[in-house]
């Protein structure tokens, strides 16, 4: 169907050249394009006392109470893909991932062959999409004197999500309108689709506010300068349409806002070699993080003078509570940016030939405007700039020291929408048991994502390398595999309480000196 292929091309034009190079990408891509994807910033390695600079992405106040006073991260990459629309049998996923042939599974459904199976959805629940990619190019943290810490990071981030998308959309995209089972009327409201790619330079500062008897309070702030590469956002306020076979769709009500600033030339033909725009920055903005922690210590701390960062004692606490507000801000797109608004209640017929004259992205939007505004191809344009909010979240952390090096923590991540257009993070609730020491650590996280998907994970830290996943079943080939995730970190750090050449021992004080100190 011509109209279906062109709409599909427009939505994913940035990925098209990659898709044609590898059949393996096609196989994994169905999780991203056609299902309820739950992809979010990994919580692996952000909770422990040796997380160091990684705590900047959870709560900047946690930097001060970390067991490391210096942390330099060479690379941090997290990737997660989960869905509740389609799945692959565990043994087939293992065969694809680890066999030399990389055999793509094939399943027969309703007389057609697919590379996956589909979950039943008798209640016709809407779909949510949360896609995330976060690459930390460089991350650095230094605790100066036990009272204050500084952090710096350079990140590249991509968020794509859809909220309350109509349940029928994945089926229509996968199976096509030639399936008579789709005939009928569909009504939906308050759905949204958004995607944004940006780079950020972040600076964080943490300071001890109160430390008396067994109580300690720390505060942390972060400021981010944002460089927007591209964005496309749509709020579908009301949508009412009917399907009449594969030849026609009648739209009864269409109320939506659409804004975009993309790396393409809107008036160039889809297949033209000059369709892509070489500009790297189309918008900029600012954002901030704010966090607090309260620690209940096992004993009263000695107030001794600290001459060098390595002399700082580790925080020996029974439990610790934290709260943080992360990614509060937006990017203002002004380069190659267009904001549209559509509001029509008259019936409009779209048949299989209606898009035959559409050759470019600009043609598509102008055509839609002309259809709904009496032939005026520019009437839908309301502005040449727009703002997109970051994936703002409210986060709660609780950590309890069971005994010695054994801990258990709970983390809640709740997304907040503060602007008309915004990308959003996925809600998460994680409970994690862990063992940690200076040299190595292990953890077993249990995660509830988007209030529906239960995951069992595992992570391990050995010296400067951390590898983890919040869904280990996807690698072991158990049951039905509906996604996978992995987190890898390589960094160098220095632990508190260990000074070079052992110049200071634990009994040193500013009053009595130390026999091991040499000038």
Structural domain including 289 reads 2-502
Quote the number of domains for the chain: 1
pLDDT of 172: 77
Residue 508 lies in a domain: no
User: Token digits for 109?
Assistant: 């459904």
Measured in Å, how far apart are the chain's first and last C-alpha atoms? 82
What is the per-residue pLDDT for 101? 65
Q: Is residue 519 part of a domain?
A: no
pTM here is 0.83
Cα–Cα separations (whole angstroms), residue 296 to 57, 217, 319, 336, 436: 23, 9, 6, 52, 19
Would 517 be classed as within a structural domain?
no
Give the pLDDT score at 8: 38
CA pair distance 299, 404, nearest whole angstrom? 14
At residue 149, the pLDDT reads 95
Give the distance, in angstroms, between the CA of residue 357 and the centroid of all CA atoms in the same chain: 37
Q: Which two tokens stand for residue 425?
A: 């993070």
Residue 414 sits in a domain of what CATH number?
2.40.160
Residue 124 located in a structural domain: yes
Residue 509, in any domain of the structure: no
Q: What is the DSSP string of 213-276?
A: TTEEEEEEEEEEEEEEEEEEEEEEEEEEEEEETTTEEEEEEEEEEEEEE-SB-TTSBTT-TT-B
Residue 91 lies in a domain: yes
In a domain, 263, yes or no: yes
Give a yes or no: residue 516 inside a domain: no
d(CA 470, CA 457): 4
**What letter would DSSP give residue 281?**
-
Handedness of CA 475, 413, 36, 365 (dihedral sign): negative
Residues 138, 214: Cα–Cα separation, whole Å = 35
* Sequential pLDDT tens for the chain (519 residues): 444 434 333 333 333 333 333 333 333 333 333 333 333 456 666 778 998 888 999 999 999 999 999 999 877 777 666 666 777 877 777 777 776 666 677 787 777 777 777 777 777 788 777 777 788 888 999 998 888 999 999 999 988 888 888 888 777 777 777 766 788 898 988 999 999 999 999 999 999 999 999 999 999 999 999 999 999 999 999 999 998 877 788 999 999 999 999 999 998 887 777 888 888 899 999 999 999 999 999 988 766 666 677 888 889 999 999 999 999 999 999 999 999 999 988 888 887 777 778 888 888 888 888 888 888 889 999 999 999 999 999 999 999 999 999 999 999 999 999 999 999 988 999 999 999 999 999 999 998 988 887 888 899 999 888 888 887 877 777 777 777 777 888 888 899 888 875 554 544 443 333 444 444
């Amino acid at each position: 169907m011509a109209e279906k292929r062109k709409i599909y091309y427009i939505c994913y034009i940035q990925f098209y050249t990659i898709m044609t190079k590898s059949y393996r990408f096609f196989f994994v891509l169905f999780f991203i394009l056609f299902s309820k994807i739950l992809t979010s910033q990994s919580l692996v390695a952000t909770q422990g006392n040796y997380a160091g600079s990684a705590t900047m992405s959870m709560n900047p106040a946690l930097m001060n109470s970390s067991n490391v006073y210096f942390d330099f991260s060479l690379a941090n990459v997290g990737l997660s893909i989960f869905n509740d629309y389609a799945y692959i049998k565990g043994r087939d996923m293992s065969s694809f991932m680890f066999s030399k042939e990389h055999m793509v599974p094939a399943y027969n459904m309703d007389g057609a062959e697919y590379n996956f199976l589909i979950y039943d959805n008798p209640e016709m629940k809407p779909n949510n999409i949360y896609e995330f990619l976060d690459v930390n190019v460089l991350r650095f943290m230094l605790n100066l004197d036990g009272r204050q810490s500084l952090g710096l990071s350079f990140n590249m981030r991509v968020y794509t999500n859809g909220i309350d998308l109509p349940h029928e959309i994945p089926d229509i995209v996968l199976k096509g309108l030639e399936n008579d089972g789709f005939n009928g009327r569909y009504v939906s409201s308050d759905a949204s689709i958004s995607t944004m790619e940006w780079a950020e330079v972040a600076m964080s500062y943490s300071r001890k506010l109160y430390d008396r008897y067994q109580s300690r309070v720390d505060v942390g702030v972060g400021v981010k300068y944002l460089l927007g590469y591209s964005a496309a956002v749509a709020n579908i306020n009301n949508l009412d349409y009917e399907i009449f076979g594969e030849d026609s769709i009648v739209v009864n009500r269409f109320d939506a806002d659409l804004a975009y600033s993309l790396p393409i030339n809107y008036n160039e033909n889809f297949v033209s070699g000059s369709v892509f725009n070489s500009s790297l920055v189309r918008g900029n903005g600012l954002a901030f993080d704010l966090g607090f922690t309260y620690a209940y210590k096992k004993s009263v701390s000695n107030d001794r003078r600290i001459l060098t960062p390595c002399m700082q004692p580790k925080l020996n606490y029974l439990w610790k509570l934290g709260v943080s507000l992360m990614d509060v801000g937006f990017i203002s797109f002004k380069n190659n940016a267009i904001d549209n608004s559509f509001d029509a209640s008259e019936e409009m017929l779209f048949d299989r030939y209606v898009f035959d004259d559409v050759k470019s992205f600009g043609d598509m939007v102008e055509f839609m405007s002309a259809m709904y505004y009496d032939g005026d191809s520019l009437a839908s344009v309301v502005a040449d700039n727009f703002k997109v909010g970051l994936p703002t979240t409210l986060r709660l952390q609780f950590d309890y020291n069971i005994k010695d090096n054994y801990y258990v923590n709970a983390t809640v991540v709740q997304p907040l929408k503060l602007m008309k257009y915004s990308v959003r993070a996925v809600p998460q609730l994680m409970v994690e048991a862990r063992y940690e020491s200076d040299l190595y650590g292990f953890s077993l996280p249990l995660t509830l994502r988007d209030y529906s998907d239960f995951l069992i994970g595992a992570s391990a830290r050995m010296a400067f390398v951390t590898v983890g996943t919040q869904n280990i079943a996807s690698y072991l080939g158990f049951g039905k595999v509906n996604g996978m995730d992995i987190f890898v970190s390589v960094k160098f750090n220095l632990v508190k309480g260990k000074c070079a050449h052992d110049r200071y021992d634990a009994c040193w004080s500013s009053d009595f000196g130390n026999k091991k100190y040499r000038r």
